[in-house]
């Protein structure tokens, strides 16, 4: 498999540029991730770029083996403060090579999927390179727990829309 981190870095840089266009009040906009607003979702992306395996497993255990509770609690410190502070934290991880435990493509999926959650919350879409989209789709096609992408992709078409609800983590 090709090194995915250059794609991750490009996607993060693109999202950072977009985040720089937002007014402070837009950061409280609800997203498709029904529990998180835009600022919290950016905090989630920052948290994912800081995670280590020991931190993940200790947090996962402390949250009663609930992946969703761990992820929600973990993002809070990175989503705290003003939009400018959260944007600065995001900018600091643009070229980070750290990724959540699991398959290497998780970092690419996090920034591309949640980047779209963020953009669409304020009525726009990202402009992703075709090779980024194809690479992620091919890798996600077989993904099981905890992302359950294989199940989520059932019934989706590249040119269609799905009515399935989003559960974000």
Domain of 51, in residue numbers: 5-152
pLDDT of 106: 86
> How many structural domains is the chain composed of?
1
**Residues 6 or more apart whose Cβ sits within 8 Å of residue 99:** 8, 48, 49, 51, 106, 107
* Domain-embedded: residue 17: yes
* Domain-embedded: residue 65: yes
Q: What is the rounded CA–CA span in Å between residue 113 and residue 50?
A: 18
* Domain-embedded: residue 158: no
pLDDT of 163: 39
pLDDT per 10-residue tile (average), the chain, 169 residues: 87 98 97 92 94 81 77 85 98 92 84 96 95 88 66 59 46
What's the CATH number where 61 sits?
Answer: 1.20.120
* Domain-embedded: residue 166: no
Contact 39, 140 (CB under 8 A): no
Q: Taking the model in full, what pTM does it have? A: 0.82
* Domain-embedded: residue 161: no
Provide φ and ψ at 157, rounded to 5°.
-125, 150
pLDDT of 2: 63
Q: What is the rounded CA–CA span in Å between residue 141 and residue 144?
A: 9
């Amino acid at each position: 498999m090709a090194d995915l981190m250059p794609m991750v870095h490009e996607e993060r840089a693109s999202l950072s540029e977009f985040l720089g266009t937002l007014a402070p009040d837009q950061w409280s906009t609800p997203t498709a991730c029904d529990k998180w607003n835009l600022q919290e979702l950016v905090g989630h992306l920052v948290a994912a770029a800081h995670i280590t395996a020991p931190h993940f497993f200790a947090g996962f255990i402390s949250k009663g083996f609930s992946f969703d509770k761990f992820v929600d609690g973990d993002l809070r410190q990175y989503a705290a403060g003003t939009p400018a502070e959260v944007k600065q934290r995001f900018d600091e991880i643009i070229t980070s090579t750290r990724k959540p435990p699991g398959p290497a493509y998780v970092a690419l999926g996090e920034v591309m999927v949640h980047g779209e959650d963020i953009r669409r919350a304020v009525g726009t879409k990202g402009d992703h390179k075709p090779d980024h989209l194809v690479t992620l789709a091919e890798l996600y096609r077989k993904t099981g727990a905890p992302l359950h992408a294989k199940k989520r992709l059932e019934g989706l078409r590249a040119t269609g829309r799905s009515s399935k609800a989003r559960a974000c983590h």
